[in-house]
């Protein structure tokens, strides 16, 4: 599991570790990891040009010490001091190693190291830092710990900030490395282990081994009913494709049976494409809403009457009122804006905040769809999904996702795990079929079994 800790948790763990280490040892560890990452990024050393943008805090110190290590290996290193002061020992080490302190780059660098603001920074960059970055526009940036100017604990961005090609972080990930819009500013993220003793994180991201451990597997004496029966109430005469795609997701093989309930003409179409799907009856979970149109409210009421876990999507979300309990709500930003009375732009700027707010408001698991999908529980715990491709932004993809999550629910996963695993599988399947190019939603549904086989192997 990839864990993202808060600034307060990281600082407490650093203080505890520094009390056991010689003075400056922790910064040396961080600087060595940063220097190694810059070396790998550059690909070669001698004569390469690196510019450090140095602020007053410890991130500036990390940058200066890393610069000294690079200078000793033949890199031309300059440090542009942007803060009110600079880390004295780091500055001395840099100049002794042959690096230079400048008031602006003498030559255009090949890499900029962002050591401007530490993890406690808030509210964008100062004018002088923003101006320096504009002067260096087009030069790739390696950020120290986090891109300067982003909000570390929320993943939110306000004002000017660094756009990094690579972020080298220390000890643990932070929310800004996972949650958009800040995650987009991080580029690739490289973690340097400092040996911190950290508490449980409230924000995390599943990794392949976590998904494999959570996947439902049939026992040696399994039969179809024991593996889970998922029901789908989706589609309408106008949107029959939504029913087909919801059923395709539910029919990914993770449940023992799929039942479809809906318009007779749509049901006939569904069964012609999916002959293994049967009609109504008892289920362990319902998927409701995709393409349901005016009937979505009635279908939601009927599904809730069964007292089983629900996946509530698309048209059915408009009919969610009060606390719904054992359910996964799957809005995109526009749908969640309507549910919470917010603006879509607000949701997109603060997805973690609003996913958690919606989970508390509706007492349900909320899966807020996006480039970095957020899954939140009512108690504040959350997961961010890091699989997927921009080609997944295509019609019907959400219908498939709802079906996959419903299959996992029927197989016995909790709403939180089903939503998290479903989002991971959906994104991984999209990446597999995309192979760097376009895709359609039905291809994603068909690729889920192959992703599962890869995990189980």
**pLDDT for position 119:** 86
**pLDDT for position 16:** 96
Place of tokens 């599991």: 1
**pLDDT for position 267:** 95
Place of tokens 């959906």: 426
CATH of 2-205, one of 3.40.50.300, 3.90.1150.10, 3.30.365.10, 3.40.50.10260: 3.40.50.10260
Non-local (6+) Cβ contacts of 222 within 8 A are 256
Burial of 184 (0-12, 13-18, 19+ CB in 10 A): middle
pLDDT lower than 70: segments of the chain: none
Break the chain into its structural domains and give their ranges. 2-205, 208-456
Q: What's the pLDDT tens digit per position in 167-195?
A: 999 999 999 999 999 999 999 999 999 99
Q: What's the pLDDT tens digit per position in 242-286?
A: 999 999 999 999 999 999 999 999 999 999 999 999 999 999 999
Separation of alpha carbons 66 and 60, rounded Å: 10
Backbone phi and psi for residue 170, each to the nearest 5 degrees, phi listed first: -125, 135
181: cis peptide before it, omega within 30°? Answer: yes
Instruction: Residue 163: count other Cβ atoms within 10 Å of its Cβ.
Output: 17
**Range 208-456 has CATH code 3.40.1190.20:** yes
Integer CA distances (angstroms), 210 to 56, 204, 420, in order: 40, 11, 10
With b meaning 16 or more CB within 10 Å and e meaning fewer, what string describes 13-48?
A: bbeebeeeeeeeebbbbbbebbbbbbbebbeeeeeb
**pLDDT for position 122:** 74
CB 45 within 8 A of CB 73: yes
Place of tokens 């690196």: 50
**pLDDT for position 8:** 96
Furthest C-alpha separation in the chain = 81
């Amino acid at each position: 599991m990839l864990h993202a800790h808060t600034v307060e948790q990281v600082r407490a763990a650093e203080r505890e570790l520094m009390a056991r280490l010689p003075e400056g040892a922790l910064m040396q560890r961080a600087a060595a990891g940063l220097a190694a990452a810059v070396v790998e990024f550059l690909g070669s050393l001698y004569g390469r040009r690196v510019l450090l943008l140095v602020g007053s805090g410890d991130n500036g110190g990390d940058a200066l010490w890393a610069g000294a290590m690079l200078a000793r290996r033949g890199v031309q290193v300059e440090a542009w001091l942007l803060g009110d002061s600079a880390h004295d020992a780091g500055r001395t080490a840099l100049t002794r190693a042959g690096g230079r302190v400048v008031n602006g780059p003498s030559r255009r660098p090949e890499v900029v190291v962002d050591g401007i603001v530490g993890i406690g920074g808030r509210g964008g960059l100062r004018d002088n830092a923003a101006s320096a970055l504009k002067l260096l526009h087009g030069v790739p940036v390696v950020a120290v710990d986090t891109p300067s100017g982003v909000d570390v604990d929320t993943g939110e961005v306000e004002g000017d900030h660094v756009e990094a090609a690579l972020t080298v972080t220390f000890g643990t990930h932070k929310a800004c490395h996972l949650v958009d819009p800040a995650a987009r500013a991080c580029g690739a993220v490289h973690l340097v282990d400092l040996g911190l003793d950290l508490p449980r994180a409230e924000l995390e991201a599943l990794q392949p081994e976590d998904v494999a451990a959570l996947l439902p597997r049939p026992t040696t004496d399994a039969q179809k009913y024991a593996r889970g029966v998922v029901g789908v109430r989706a589609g309408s005469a106008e949107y029959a494709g939504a029913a087909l795609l919801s059923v395709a997701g539910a029919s990914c093989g993770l449940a023992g049976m799929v039942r479809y309930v809906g318009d007779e003409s749509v049901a006939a179409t569904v069964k012609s494409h999916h002959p293994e799907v049967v009609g109504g009856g008892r289920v362990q979970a319902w998927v409701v809403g995709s393409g349901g149109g005016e009937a979505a409210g009635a279908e939601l009421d009927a599904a809730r009457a069964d007292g089983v876990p629900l996946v509530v999507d698309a048209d059915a979300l408009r009919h969610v009122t009060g606390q719904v309990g054992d359910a996964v709500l799957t809005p995109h930003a526009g749908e969640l804006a309507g549910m919470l009375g917010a603006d879509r732009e607000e949701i997109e700027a603060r997805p973690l905040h609003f996913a958690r707010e919606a989970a508390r408001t509706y007492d349900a698991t909320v899966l807020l769809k996006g480039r970095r999908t957020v899954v939140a529980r009512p108690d504040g715990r959350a997961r961010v999904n890091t699989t997927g491709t921009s080609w997944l932004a295509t019609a019907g993809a959400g219908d498939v996702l709802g079906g996959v999550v419903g299959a996992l629910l029927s197989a016995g996963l909790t709403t939180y795990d089903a939503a998290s695993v479903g989002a991971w599988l959906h994104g991984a399947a999209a990446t597999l079929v995309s192979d760097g190019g376009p895709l359609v939603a039905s291809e994603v549904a068909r690729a889920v079994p192959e992703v599962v086989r890869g995990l189980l192997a």
